[in-house]
Every structure is written in structure tokens, then in C-alpha cells.
């Protein structure tokens, strides 16, 4: 049977479309030229300059503090939420599901402005803590969806077997269920971490003076800063992303 080649061609063109801009960015980051328009040879000049930027390191440390704490809290809340949604089929859970699902489709700017208004209304000072609260809020839904996906493939007879063999609710949860679900929970945590460390829009709305995160710093560099430095920074971040994706793929494969 003759197949149309159109889907193949479109898929290949799409991949070129996806990766061309990233590739150009990476290559120009090694360009010695100040303006990046003409090629003046390979150089690590911009990477050395990057290391001297104290503000970037400070922003990075802020981002890491928020990402780690938001990941821990959202993994706990997202995992319990997934258990509830999977285990119980009540009206309460239908409402719970809607509450978990809606933040996934709401435009980020709406979540940003509504949290800003909330913090202003209750008189809470904007800073790292408000950013943390905001990040947990949008990460819960993603963690819950990833863990829920894993629970649907999970063989619960194993837990029942443990209980038949005398394990209590607590022991069967801690010693059987959670270890078996660990790859799924870890994958959810990894997603939460990446989303948190990359978030700009919501963070920009709820950040205060002195709570600059890496994306906020990158944004102001894009608006006012020197392009070669952003190229170098972007390349480093892309490298980290590829490693994280590779690790998460590894986790997914092991669990399946």
C-alpha cells in the first residue's frame, strides 16, 4: 500500500524548526565577536565574563532555594491529591479534580495577577516567600497528574497481598506502595523542579525587591543587557535541561 510521504516531511521540518533557533544560539555563544554578527573564531570569553556577574549567581541561588522548597511541598501535596483522586470516587473528588485540573489550563498571567492581588489584599510583603507559595500552587497540579497517571497502571493487589501477610495500613503504604511508586513521584518532582526554576510570568508578578530569580534576571538581560552573555547563560541552562530530561527518561524507562 502506497503511503503519503507528507507526514514524514512535515515531522522532519518541524524538528528542524524546533532545533534550529537553539542550535544557532549555542553556536553564537562561542563566538568571540562582540556583536555576534560576524564570526571571529571560537572563544570561551563570554563564559568567563558570565562567572564575574555576581547578580546572576545571586539570582541562581534564589531560584534554587525556591525550586527545592516548592518541589518538596508540591510533591507531598500532589501525591496525596493523586491518591485521593484515584482511591475515592465521591462528589468531593469530582470537585477536587476540577480544582487540580483548572490551574493547568489557566493562562499564567491570570494566576500571577490573582496571587498578586491576594497578597496585596492580605497585606503580605512580596518576596521569596510569596514566590514559594505561588510556585507550590502551580506545581501541585502537575505532580498530581503525573502520579495519577502512574497509579492508574499500578497493580494494587500487591498492597492487598502485603496486608494479607499482616502489614498494617501504615506499613503497607510506607514499605510497599511508596517504594514501588517512587519513580513516578520522582518524575513528578523533577517536572515541578523544572517548572519552578523556569517560571517567569507568575514569579514576576509576586516578586518583591531583592527577590530576583534567574528567569527575572534573564528577562531584564534580554530587555537591556548584552546578548552574548545571554547566549552563554542560555547554553549552560540548555545543557542542564538536556541532562535532566535524560535522567527523567531513564526513570520512566526503569519504571515501565
Output the smallest distance, CB 92 to another protein, in A.
7
In the complex with another protein, which residue's Cβ is closer, 81 or 185?
81
Output the smallest distance, CB 25 to another protein, in A.
4
In the complex with another protein, which residue's Cβ is closer, 13 or 44?
13
The CA distances from residue 38 to 3, 32, 42, 174, in Å, are 44, 9, 12, 60
Separation CA 66–CA 202 (nearest Å): 13
Output the smallest distance, CB 52 to another protein, in A.
21
Output the smallest distance, CB 161 to another protein, in A.
20
What is the 3 state secondary structure string of 122-152? Answer: CCCCCCHHHHHHHHHHHHHHHHHHHHHHHHH
In the complex with another protein, which residue's Cβ is closer, 21 or 166?
21
The answer to whether the beta carbons of residues 100 and 142 sit under 8 Å apart is: no
Which among 203, 216, 219, 182 is positioned nearest to 138, based on CA atoms? 203
Separation CA 199–CA 72 (nearest Å): 17
Amino acid at each position: 500500500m502506497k503511503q503519503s510521504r507528507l507526514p514524514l516531511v512535515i515531522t522532519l521540518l518541524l524538528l528542524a524548526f524546533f532545533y534550529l533557533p537553539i542550535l544557532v544560539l549555542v553556536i553564537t555563544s562561542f563566538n568571540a565577536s562582540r556583536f555576534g554578527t560576524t564570526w571571529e573564531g571560537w572563544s570561551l570569553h563570554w563564559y568567563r565574563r558570565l562567572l564575574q556577574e555576581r547578580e546572576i549567581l545571586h539570582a541562581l541561588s534564589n531560584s534554587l532555594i525556591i525550586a527545592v522548597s516548592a518541589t518538596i511541598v508540591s510533591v507531598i501535596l500532589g501525591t496525596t491529591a493523586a491518591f485521593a483522586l484515584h482511591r475515592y470516587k465521591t462528589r468531593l473528588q469530582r470537585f477536587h479534580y476540577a480544582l487540580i485540573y483548572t490551574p493547568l489550563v489557566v493562562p499564567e498571567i491570570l494566576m500571577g495577577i490573582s496571587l498578586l492581588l491576594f497578597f496585596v489584599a492580605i497585606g503580605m510583603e512580596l518576596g521569596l516567600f510569596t514566590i514559594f507559595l505561588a510556585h507550590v500552587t502551580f506545581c501541585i497540579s502537575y505532580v498530581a497528574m503525573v502520579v495519577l497517571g502512574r497509579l492508574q497502571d499500578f497493580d494494587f493487589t500487591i498492597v492487598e497481598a502485603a496486608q494479607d501477610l499482616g502489614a498494617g495500613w501504615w506499613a503497607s503504604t510506607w514499605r510497599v506502595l511508596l517504594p514501588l511508586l517512587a519513580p513516578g513521584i520522582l518524575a513528578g518532582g523533577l517536572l515541578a523542579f523544572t517548572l519552578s526554576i523556569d517560571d517567569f510570568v507568575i514569579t514576576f508578578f509576586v516578586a518583591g525587591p531583592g527577590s530576583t530569580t534567574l528567569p527575572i534576571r534573564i528577562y531584564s538581560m534580554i530587555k537591556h543587557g548584552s546578548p552574548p552573555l545571554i547566549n552563554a547563560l542560555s547554553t549552560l541552562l540548555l545543557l542542564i535541561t538536556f541532562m535532566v530530561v535524560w535522567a527523567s527518561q531513564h526513570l520512566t524507562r526503569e519504571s515501565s
